[in-house]
Structures are given as C-alpha cells and as structure tokens.
Structure 1
Amino acid sequence: MEGVALGQIVHSRAGRDKDRYFIVVGIIDENYVLISDGDLRKIDNPKKKKIKHLVFHNRFAEDIAERLRNKKNISDADLRKSLQSMGLL
C-alpha cells in the first residue's frame, strides 16, 4: 500500500474504464482502493478497484484529499472540477 494516498490521481489500465482518470477516495486494504471521477463513477457509488489495475501518478487533488481527511461532504462537481483543472477530463 506504499505510495497510495487519498486524493491521488490514478488512471485505469484494465477493465471497462481503461485509460480513464480517477481520484482515490478511499483505501480498503493493501490490494483495493475506492476511486471516483464524478462522471462515470459518482462519489456516492465509488468503484472498488485492484491496485494492480491502476497507474498511480504523483499528482494530488489536495482540496479533495483535505475534505476526505476531515470527513466533509464532496460533490461529484468537485471531483470533475479537480480533474478538469489538471486537464484530465
């Protein structure tokens, strides 16, 4: 689980969502994380994804990570806005 953090930008390398960018919104264990992009996968129903099927980037959605750590509400629009500001959506 080294190198995985809340708010981290990832993209899928396997499955139907291949080559789409997501934000890590939850960490389940050393093999799985929860990802969401506010479009295909809403924050209310994040995708449980194996870590080995993801490519992790050294980019973070700091505003989203801070809100996740403080247990504040996050909207789908917040996720989309963060990904759009990085040019990933």
Structure 2
Amino acid sequence: MNNEFELGQIVFSKCGRDQGKPFIVVSIEEEYVHLVDGKLRKVDNPKLKKKKHVQKTNTIMEWIKLKIIEENRLTNNDVRKALDEYLGQSSVE
C-alpha cells in the first residue's frame, strides 16, 4: 500500500467530533481529502479533512470508485451500502 489516498477508499477519522467514524474518500487535494458517509456527510456536501487526521484502510470499494470517476453518479445510498458492507466484513474477521 502506498502513502497516497485513492478514490473509493474507506478511511476512519482520527480526531474531531467524528473520531472513529468510517468515511469514503470522494475527492483528493494536496493535503486534504473530501469524505462522505451518506448520513451526516452527504455526497453533495463532503467533509474536508486534512490527510494527517485520517486513518487509511487497505480497502478500496472499486464499484464506488467507478461511480465517482463516471462524473459523480455516486448517491448517498451507494455510500451507506458500501460502508455497511465493509463494516459487516470487518466485524466478522
């Protein structure tokens, strides 16, 4: 795994009032990432967070990444579904 973030990657917030919550990376700037969770942080209003305040996982939701690349066809329902899918897998392991 390289040091960079990728679209569709699942991350966790390391600080702030959203600490410990999972998000999906929908956009990447130089030292910031835009994050959504489909509930409080929706696709049309992503959270801007510094990269150093985010814990990466090795999980990249490829189907989410494709939807982001295909001109923002991503919906909040897609985001919630992907996070539920990930959390369901990670709690079993």
Q: Is the structural similarity TM-score above 0.5?
A: yes
Report the alpha carbon displacement of residue 61 of structure 1 after superposing the two structures with TM.
1.3
Give the distance between the partners of 1:87 and 1:52, measured in 2 at CA.
23
Residues 24-77 of structure 1: CA deviation (Å, up to 9, x unaligned): 000021x10100010110000000000000000000111110111121411100
2:69 maps to: 69
Please give the residue correspondences for 1:10-89 in structure 2 after superposition, counting only pairs within 5 Å.
10-29=11-30, 31-87=31-87
Q: Structure 1 stretches of 5 or more lacking a match?
A: none
2:3 maps to: 2
Q: What number of residue pairs does the alignment pair up?
A: 87
Report the alpha carbon displacement of residue 81 of structure 1 after superposing the two structures with TM.
0.3
Percentage identity across aligned positions? 41
- Structure 1 letter corresponding to 2:16: G
- Larger fraction in helix: 2
Deviates more, 1:62-71 or 1:15-24: 62-71
Higher Cα radius of gyration: 2
Runs of 4+ in 1 over 3 A off after TM superposition: none
